[in-house]
Structure 1
Amino acid sequence: MAVAPTKAETARGLRLFARLDERFLLALFVLAAVAVSWFLRTRALGASLWMDEGLSIGIASQPLTEIPEVLRQDGSPPLYYLLLGVWLRLVGDGPAETQALSVLIALAAIPVGLWAGWSLFGRRAGIYLAAMCAVNPFLTTYAQEVRMYSLMFTLSLAVTAAFLNVFVMRRRRYLAALLPLLAATLYTHNWALFVSIGLVTALAWLLLTAGGSERRALFRDGLIAFGGAGLLYLPWLPTLLFQVQHTGAPWLNPPRLGAPVQISKYLLGGGTATCALVLAGGSGLARFLQEARLDPRRRAIIAAALVVVAMLGSAWLFSQVSPAWTTRYLGASLGPLLLIFAAGLARAGRLGIAALLIVLAIWSLPRLYDLQNKSNAADLAQAAAPLLHRGDLVISLQPEQTPLLAYHLETLRGVRGLRYATPLGPVRNPHVMDWRDSQERIERATVARNLEPLLATLPPRARVLLVHPITARRDDWDAPWTALVRRRAAQWGAALAGDRRFRRVATLPPFYRRATRIGVRAVLYEKTGA
């Protein structure tokens, strides 16, 4: 005879069913977010590569063991390039294949965001943050680019959440995750140094506002986390110091006071979305700040804000001396920013829901033109490849375009045996840009010293493809490096056009599809006499 379940057993069964139902719905949400993110972030996959993507592919295509040494010429840490090097050997080196790594990293940001928001501010904040990670336009752009910025975003979000869990929520189990996450961030992009300054600033505030015994425990954990990450980063430090001395960013100007506009336009999707986040999120954040002084969530909000402010402030100050400030680098601050906004929207109730829906709708609008037309280098290579032969000379008047040109001509079009040069001189490895002391080298470059020896070595009937950057917008070409590139391009173009030993064969490409980053045009010459 069956025994009827007791009330307690029935209640336990209902609770178990509710938990299973909740987990099913959560899994369904994550799958839906990933599907939407995949749809948005593959619309322009493989459509266009620009100059910086050529740099990435060129470095990653070097032997894996040589990549750290090659980066002495570039100025970046090695983690992304090593990952990309393994990826392109496994998946392929075509435009879509190489960009796909960034797509997968961007998709990984969704569960990271869910964990980050949920672990710190509750389930609703986690869901909101995951949804924002799925459609944020900055991440959508760099999910379809062969660069490290989607990895930098994901790591900065994860490292901020782990830091707050350890030092605010006092969940020391996350200390084991924080240490390698911080080290990985440092090995991904040099702006991680500013992220570290932000984290240390937040830790200093927590130490100042903690009690005696708690202060000692925080200090001990800080030594473990930052000291351990520093030890892991120590082998890279000599290379970093060399890069700082020899591979600066002469292509940038010192930043002014437009950082809020940059963040609003490029990181948060424009004025409407920013206003919705600030107004609705701000109302929720105000409620957090009204909590008791030692309330963990209140302290987490303040600490996260300190991370963002100290990160951007230190980067802005450093860039007044050595410019290292550009929109895509600001993505390092986007992770903690979205974490703060998700917490505020979750606390704002119905207003937060309305604001979130507005933001998600704006962020989900397709913006394909810029991604599909980053550069016209592929058009140029397609037109030039049938006209070039082994031993011909390709001169890129913007030196950092060389790896992209070599990728399109050699890897994709199969033109072998070409020689490459720039105003800096002959290029030994066209797949790697040598930034070492580049500003001083281009200042010394002249037609007589750098161009004439190249032309003199060419036999009759050899061809020269002279590739110019399109410099129509002068305000984009006024930094120390870019201004000289523009000037040298004009000088070398005039010199070759007036050289009677060469005749013009073609102007390439035959049509110009607007490039939203940096476009190129070329003139093909053939040597007719000595």
Structure 2
Amino acid sequence: MRRVPWTVGLVALAAGLRLVRVGAWDIGLDEAYSALVAARPLADLVAFVARDDFHPPLYYLFLHLWQTVAGSDEFWLRFPSVVFGSLAVWVISRLGTELADARTGFVAGLLAALSPLHIFHAQDLRMYALLLLLASGALLFFVRGLRTGRTGDWVLHAGFLALALYTHYGAYLLVAGETLAVAWLWATRGPLPVRSWMASAGIALLTFLPWSHVLWQHLRRTAPPQAADGILIPIQQVAYALVAFTSDFLPPGQPVLKAAVLLVSFAAALSGARTLRERPASAVVLMCTSLGALGLAALVGLRLQTIAVGTHVLIPRTLLVASVGYLVLLAAAGTRLRPRPLGWGLLGLLVVLNLAALPRVYLGPRPLWGPWRAVAAYVAERIREGDGIVVVSGHWARPFDFYFGPRAKPVRIVRYYGRQDLGRVRDLVAHSSRVWLVLRQPEAVDPHGRVVRLLDSVARSPSQFSFPAGTRILLFTLAHRSQPIDTRR
């Protein structure tokens, strides 16, 4: 195989798949959070992330600069993720070539290019595509450093690893996997450039030291008071991640299919490691940085059961780093298993599963996040001096804030998260002639309808405007400042 043409072809394929409909849907919940944080003044951005977020600041700093170019356009805001995700495919293919051979490298890159999980995050205004690129680069130079011992490889390893740590705490999975691999190889294979690795990893960790106290505060703030009961939940989450690494976005409600994918892919990964028996160091590195790292993550999951937003910490995106070695193991199984038809059948199955999942990546669930650009434009075009806005949708207020902020005159907005905000709503009502009530999943934060009842008690029957995905706007003209209702659409 000629290396340059197929590498270029893989990157082109990856970019093409990641560009499909990348600007077709509105900015979603977490994406709006990224954009709003990045829009803060630079002096305040890092302090806000340290105080109120659960991620390191590098991606937000990058996005702060990129937003000056991209503005609020969905395509251009997401475009860097497309670039990061496409370049990660090239790095993964190089990793497969380093650890096995050119054929395995090509197939590893192909599986990464077709991965629904990787495509999803390469179309997302979040830090996960950047994490994947940086962690893959760090792993590539780790492998080269072990093989050649060159100082340049270890310097690049330290640089990529430090940047990955400042992008997402999931990069610690790579640190854990590398530690396992070095310990295993040192115990079983004798001399290794252990000091070089320790110096390289140590430099990366020292570079991260200024932020480590923030990480400690995050852990103290979000760790439950007691460890989780049993290891069943962490194991379930790791198993779910392995399914997602193999082929995410499988048809919903198909537990038998997902169990079959898990068993087949896990067996294939183990077989891939066995096919590398003439390169035992490669098998050790891949096993430790994928399955070994996931095993350690399950142990961590016993303690860190949830993160700040109440989501389980062991979800595919936080474990994304481990998918790199796992995909290379699957590629090794597909290209090196004997008899050959068995490997070809495995590759065919993986390609078919991933291609079949792509419509679900492109058509759902993101288009269901809500037409927030249209909602914000509708309000912005009709709002007038003396109006107020109440958003009853919990954290769904973030996309509304993102789209409404740049286009509207200053107006008071109350974001209702619970009964504790009712006083702020009353104060807004007392100083407004009309109130725009934006509703999206109001039952989550106002199950008893207190806000609607309050507005009904002081206003005319509202005008109502409905949008897709269950989003509604109610326009209340208040009795104490009666004015005509603007019903233009």
Written as runs of structure 1 = structure 2, the 5 A alignment for 1:208-219 is 208-211=187-190, 214=191, 217-218=193-194
Written as runs of structure 1 = structure 2, the 5 A alignment for 1:125-524 is 125-167=104-146, 170=149, 173-211=152-190, 214=191, 217-218=193-194, 220-246=195-221, 255=233, 257-269=235-247, 270=250, 271=258, 277-289=265-277, 295-305=280-290, 307-320=292-305, 323-348=312-337, 350=340, 351-365=342-356, 366-367=358-359, 368-370=362-364, 371-411=366-406, 414-423=407-416, 445-446=419-420, 449-456=423-430, 458-459=431-432, 461-469=433-441, 486-488=444-446, 490-498=448-456, 500-508=457-465, 510-513=466-469, 520-524=471-475
Residues 208-242 of structure 1: per-residue CA shift (max 9 Å, x gap): 4354xx36x41x22431222111111122233334
Partner of 1:111: 90
Amino acid in structure 1 at the alignment position of 2:285:
A
Asked if structure 2 preserves the Cα contact closer than 8 Å seen for 1:106 and 1:151, the reply is yes
Query: In the aligned structure 2, how far is the partner of 1:121 from the partner of 1:38?
Result: 25
Asked if structure 2 preserves the Cα contact closer than 8 Å seen for 1:124 and 1:346, the reply is yes
Unaligned runs of 5+ in 2: 251-257, 482-489
Amino acid in structure 1 at the alignment position of 2:411:
L
Asked if structure 2 preserves the Cα contact closer than 8 Å seen for 1:468 and 1:522, the reply is no
Asked if structure 2 preserves the Cα contact closer than 8 Å seen for 1:74 and 1:247, the reply is no
Asked if structure 1 preserves the Cα contact closer than 8 Å seen for 2:294 and 2:319, the reply is no
Query: In the aligned structure 2, how far is the partner of 1:285 from the partner of 1:257?
Result: 22
CA apart distance, 1:130:
1.1
Bigger mean CA offset, 295-304 vs 400-409: 295-304
Tell me the secondary structure at the aligned position of residue 440 of structure 2. strand
Partner of 1:4: none
Tell me the secondary structure at the aligned position of residue 373 of structure 1. helix
Distance 1:390 1:264, change over 3 A: farther
Tell me the secondary structure at the aligned position of residue 422 of structure 1. strand
Asked if structure 1 preserves the Cα contact closer than 8 Å seen for 2:173 and 2:319, the reply is no
Asked if structure 2 preserves the Cα contact closer than 8 Å seen for 1:466 and 1:493, the reply is no
CA apart distance, 1:52:
0.6
Distance 1:489 1:409, change over 3 A: farther
Amino acid in structure 2 at the alignment position of 1:103:
V
Distance 1:360 1:448, change over 3 A: closer
Amino acid in structure 1 at the alignment position of 2:463:
A
Query: In the aligned structure 1, how far is the partner of 2:223 from the partner of 2:372?
Result: 26
Distance 1:423 1:489, change over 3 A: farther
Bigger mean CA offset, 110-119 vs 84-93: 84-93
CA apart distance, 1:373:
3.3
Residues 402-444 of structure 1: per-residue CA shift (max 9 Å, x gap): 3311222233xx22212222236xxxxxxxxxxxxxxxxx6xx
TM-score of the two chains, using structure 1 as the length reference = 0.76
State the percentage of identical aligned residues: 21
Amino acid in structure 2 at the alignment position of 1:163:
F
RMSD over equivalenced CA pairs, Å? 3.1
Distance 1:528 1:315, change over 3 A: farther
Query: In the aligned structure 2, how far is the partner of 1:496 from the partner of 1:182?
Result: 53
Partner of 2:29: 51
Amino acid in structure 1 at the alignment position of 2:212:
L
Tell me the secondary structure at the aligned position of residue 340 of structure 1. helix
Query: In the aligned structure 2, how far is the partner of 1:374 from the partner of 1:261?
Result: 27
Bigger mean CA offset, 184-193 vs 171-180: 171-180
Whose RCO is larger (CA < 8 A, sep 6+)? Answer: 1
Partner of 2:64: 85
Query: In the aligned structure 2, how far is the partner of 1:287 from the partner of 1:399?
Result: 51
- Radius of gyration: which is bigger? 1
Bigger mean CA offset, 93-102 vs 153-162: 153-162
CA apart distance, 1:55:
0.6
Amino acid in structure 2 at the alignment position of 1:130:
G
CA apart distance, 1:121:
1.4
Partner of 1:36: 13
Residues 363-417 of structure 1: per-residue CA shift (max 9 Å, x gap): 2343221143333323432433333234533333344333311222233xx2221
TM-score of the two chains, using structure 2 as the length reference = 0.82
Asked if structure 2 preserves the Cα contact closer than 8 Å seen for 1:30 and 1:110, the reply is no
Distance 1:65 1:248, change over 3 A: farther
Tell me the secondary structure at the aligned position of residue 47 of structure 1. coil
Tell me the secondary structure at the aligned position of residue 503 of structure 1. coil
Query: In the aligned structure 2, how far is the partner of 1:178 from the partner of 1:45?
Result: 31
Distance 1:390 1:194, change over 3 A: farther
Amino acid in structure 2 at the alignment position of 1:231:
L
Tell me the secondary structure at the aligned position of residue 416 of structure 1. coil
CA apart distance, 1:194:
3.8
Query: In the aligned structure 2, how far is the partner of 1:76 from the partner of 1:122?
Result: 36
Query: In the aligned structure 2, how far is the partner of 1:229 from the partner of 1:208?
Result: 24
Asked if structure 2 preserves the Cα contact closer than 8 Å seen for 1:40 and 1:364, the reply is no
Residues 136-162 of structure 1: per-residue CA shift (max 9 Å, x gap): 101111111111111122223232333
CA apart distance, 1:106:
0.9
CA apart distance, 1:180:
1.2
Asked if structure 1 preserves the Cα contact closer than 8 Å seen for 2:461 and 2:476, the reply is yes
Query: In the aligned structure 1, how far is the partner of 2:291 from the partner of 2:152?
Result: 23
Query: In the aligned structure 1, how far is the partner of 2:223 from the partner of 2:450?
Result: 25
